[in-house]
Amino acid sequence: MSKTSTNILRQGEAQRITLTLNGRERSGHCEPRELLSDFLRHELGATGTHVGCEHGVCGACTVHIDGVAARSCLMLAVQVQGRRVDTVEGLAPDQTLGDLQQAFQRHHALQCGFCTAGILMSCADYLQRVPDPSEGQVREMLSGHICRCTGYTPIVKAVLDVAACRNGRVRSEQGREVEHA
Protein backbone atom coordinates (compact mmCIF):
# COMPACT_ATOMS: atom_id res chain seq x y z
CA MET A 1 0.00 0.00 0.00
CA SER A 2 1.56 3.27 -1.07
CA LYS A 3 1.42 6.42 1.00
CA THR A 4 0.04 9.03 -1.37
CA SER A 5 -1.53 11.30 1.22
CA THR A 6 0.58 14.04 2.77
CA ASN A 7 -2.03 14.62 5.52
CA ILE A 8 -1.15 11.61 7.65
CA LEU A 9 -1.26 12.55 11.33
CA ARG A 10 1.29 10.84 13.52
CA GLN A 11 1.22 10.73 17.29
CA GLY A 12 3.90 12.91 18.82
CA GLU A 13 4.32 15.06 15.71
CA ALA A 14 3.20 18.65 16.02
CA GLN A 15 0.72 19.78 13.39
CA ARG A 16 0.41 23.37 12.25
CA ILE A 17 -3.20 24.52 12.47
CA THR A 18 -4.39 27.75 10.85
CA LEU A 19 -7.86 29.07 11.60
CA THR A 20 -9.78 32.29 11.88
CA LEU A 21 -10.14 33.03 15.59
CA ASN A 22 -12.55 35.83 16.47
CA GLY A 23 -12.14 37.34 13.02
CA ARG A 24 -8.32 37.14 12.84
CA GLU A 25 -6.23 34.50 11.15
CA ARG A 26 -4.19 32.63 13.75
CA SER A 27 -1.86 29.64 13.66
CA GLY A 28 -0.44 27.31 16.24
CA HIS A 29 0.97 23.84 16.70
CA CYS A 30 -0.62 20.83 18.35
CA GLU A 31 -0.42 17.09 18.51
CA PRO A 32 -3.10 15.24 16.54
CA ARG A 33 -4.86 14.16 19.76
CA GLU A 34 -4.97 17.63 21.38
CA LEU A 35 -8.44 18.88 22.24
CA LEU A 36 -9.62 22.13 20.70
CA SER A 37 -10.31 23.54 24.17
CA ASP A 38 -6.66 23.01 25.19
CA PHE A 39 -5.36 24.36 21.88
CA LEU A 40 -7.44 27.53 22.22
CA ARG A 41 -6.37 28.13 25.81
CA HIS A 42 -2.72 27.08 25.81
CA GLU A 43 -1.54 27.65 22.25
CA LEU A 44 -3.66 30.63 21.17
CA GLY A 45 -4.30 32.30 24.57
CA ALA A 46 -8.11 32.30 24.31
CA THR A 47 -8.50 31.61 28.03
CA GLY A 48 -12.18 32.59 28.12
CA THR A 49 -12.86 29.06 26.91
CA HIS A 50 -13.11 27.14 30.16
CA VAL A 51 -12.63 23.43 30.62
CA GLY A 52 -14.98 21.77 33.07
CA CYS A 53 -16.00 18.15 32.64
CA GLU A 54 -14.05 17.32 29.44
CA HIS A 55 -17.00 15.11 28.42
CA GLY A 56 -19.28 17.67 26.71
CA VAL A 57 -21.75 17.69 29.60
CA CYS A 58 -21.17 20.97 31.43
CA GLY A 59 -21.00 23.35 28.45
CA ALA A 60 -18.24 25.56 29.90
CA CYS A 61 -16.08 25.05 26.79
CA THR A 62 -18.74 26.08 24.25
CA VAL A 63 -17.43 28.04 21.26
CA HIS A 64 -18.78 28.71 17.77
CA ILE A 65 -17.39 26.67 14.89
CA ASP A 66 -18.33 28.26 11.57
CA GLY A 67 -21.12 30.10 13.38
CA VAL A 68 -22.61 27.15 15.27
CA ALA A 69 -22.24 26.44 19.00
CA ALA A 70 -20.06 23.40 19.72
CA ARG A 71 -18.28 21.86 22.69
CA SER A 72 -14.56 22.42 22.22
CA CYS A 73 -13.70 19.57 24.59
CA LEU A 74 -15.31 17.12 22.15
CA MET A 75 -13.30 18.25 19.13
CA LEU A 76 -9.70 17.82 18.19
CA ALA A 77 -7.78 20.96 17.30
CA VAL A 78 -6.88 19.47 13.91
CA GLN A 79 -10.60 19.44 13.04
CA VAL A 80 -10.71 23.24 12.85
CA GLN A 81 -7.99 23.59 10.24
CA GLY A 82 -9.13 26.38 7.90
CA ARG A 83 -12.36 27.00 9.82
CA ARG A 84 -13.77 29.95 11.74
CA VAL A 85 -13.79 29.68 15.54
CA ASP A 86 -15.33 32.29 17.80
CA THR A 87 -14.82 32.34 21.55
CA VAL A 88 -16.31 34.53 24.26
CA GLU A 89 -13.51 37.03 23.63
CA GLY A 90 -15.04 37.58 20.19
CA LEU A 91 -18.31 38.81 21.70
CA ALA A 92 -16.56 42.05 22.69
CA PRO A 93 -13.77 42.53 20.14
CA ASP A 94 -13.42 46.25 20.83
CA GLN A 95 -13.67 45.78 24.63
CA THR A 96 -17.30 46.99 24.58
CA LEU A 97 -19.83 44.54 25.98
CA GLY A 98 -22.49 43.39 23.54
CA ASP A 99 -26.19 43.47 24.38
CA LEU A 100 -26.19 39.88 25.66
CA GLN A 101 -23.24 40.52 27.97
CA GLN A 102 -24.84 43.76 29.19
CA ALA A 103 -28.07 41.89 29.94
CA PHE A 104 -26.13 39.27 31.91
CA GLN A 105 -24.58 42.09 33.92
CA ARG A 106 -27.89 43.91 34.38
CA HIS A 107 -29.73 40.77 35.53
CA HIS A 108 -26.86 39.43 37.67
CA ALA A 109 -26.81 36.32 35.48
CA LEU A 110 -23.41 35.20 36.68
CA GLN A 111 -21.74 34.59 39.97
CA CYS A 112 -18.46 32.71 39.96
CA GLY A 113 -18.30 33.13 36.18
CA PHE A 114 -16.80 29.75 35.36
CA CYS A 115 -19.72 28.59 33.22
CA THR A 116 -20.62 32.05 31.92
CA ALA A 117 -18.46 32.08 28.78
CA GLY A 118 -19.94 28.84 27.51
CA ILE A 119 -23.47 29.92 28.38
CA LEU A 120 -22.98 33.23 26.58
CA MET A 121 -21.78 31.42 23.47
CA SER A 122 -24.76 29.06 23.50
CA CYS A 123 -27.17 31.95 24.10
CA ALA A 124 -25.65 33.99 21.25
CA ASP A 125 -26.00 31.04 18.89
CA TYR A 126 -29.54 30.30 20.10
CA LEU A 127 -30.77 33.88 19.69
CA GLN A 128 -29.48 33.85 16.10
CA ARG A 129 -31.51 30.72 15.35
CA VAL A 130 -34.54 31.47 17.59
CA PRO A 131 -34.83 35.27 17.81
CA ASP A 132 -38.02 35.32 19.92
CA PRO A 133 -37.90 32.33 22.30
CA SER A 134 -40.31 31.56 25.11
CA GLU A 135 -39.12 31.08 28.67
CA GLY A 136 -39.53 27.32 28.27
CA GLN A 137 -37.42 27.29 25.13
CA VAL A 138 -34.63 29.22 26.83
CA ARG A 139 -34.71 26.87 29.81
CA GLU A 140 -34.54 23.87 27.48
CA MET A 141 -31.54 25.35 25.66
CA LEU A 142 -29.82 26.02 28.99
CA SER A 143 -30.35 22.40 30.05
CA GLY A 144 -27.14 21.67 28.15
CA HIS A 145 -25.18 23.71 30.71
CA ILE A 146 -24.31 23.16 34.32
CA CYS A 147 -24.25 26.23 36.53
CA ARG A 148 -23.96 25.67 40.26
CA CYS A 149 -24.32 29.31 41.32
CA THR A 150 -27.10 31.26 39.61
CA GLY A 151 -30.08 28.93 39.66
CA TYR A 152 -30.57 29.82 35.96
CA THR A 153 -33.45 32.27 36.56
CA PRO A 154 -31.33 35.41 36.03
CA ILE A 155 -29.82 33.88 32.90
CA VAL A 156 -33.29 33.18 31.49
CA LYS A 157 -34.36 36.74 32.29
CA ALA A 158 -31.27 38.15 30.56
CA VAL A 159 -31.85 36.10 27.40
CA LEU A 160 -35.54 37.03 27.27
CA ASP A 161 -34.60 40.68 27.83
CA VAL A 162 -32.22 40.64 24.86
CA ALA A 163 -34.79 38.90 22.66
CA ALA A 164 -37.44 41.46 23.62
CA CYS A 165 -35.12 44.40 22.95
CA ARG A 166 -33.97 43.00 19.61
CA ASN A 167 -37.62 42.53 18.64
CA GLY A 168 -38.61 46.10 19.55
CA ARG A 169 -40.12 45.33 22.93
CA VAL A 170 -39.01 46.36 26.39
CA ARG A 171 -39.34 44.15 29.45
CA SER A 172 -40.75 45.85 32.54
CA GLU A 173 -39.29 45.30 36.00
CA GLN A 174 -42.08 42.77 36.63
CA GLY A 175 -40.95 40.78 33.59
CA ARG A 176 -43.89 41.71 31.36
CA GLU A 177 -43.19 42.84 27.83
CA VAL A 178 -44.47 46.15 26.47
CA GLU A 179 -44.17 47.41 22.92
CA HIS A 180 -41.42 49.96 22.47
CA ALA A 181 -42.75 53.23 21.08
What's the pLDDT tens digit per position in 31-81?
999 999 999 999 999 999 999 988 988 999 999 999 999 999 999 999 999
- The domains of the chain are located at 16-90, 99-179
Res 25: pLDDT: 98
Q: Is 152 left (phi over 0), alpha (psi -120 to 50) or beta?
A: left
- The class that CATH gives domain 16-90 is alpha beta
Residue numbers in the chain where pLDDT is lower than 70:
1-11, 171-181
pTM for this one? 0.86
Contact 87, 63 (CB under 8 A): yes
CATH topology of domain 99-179: DNA polymerase; domain 1 (1.10.150)
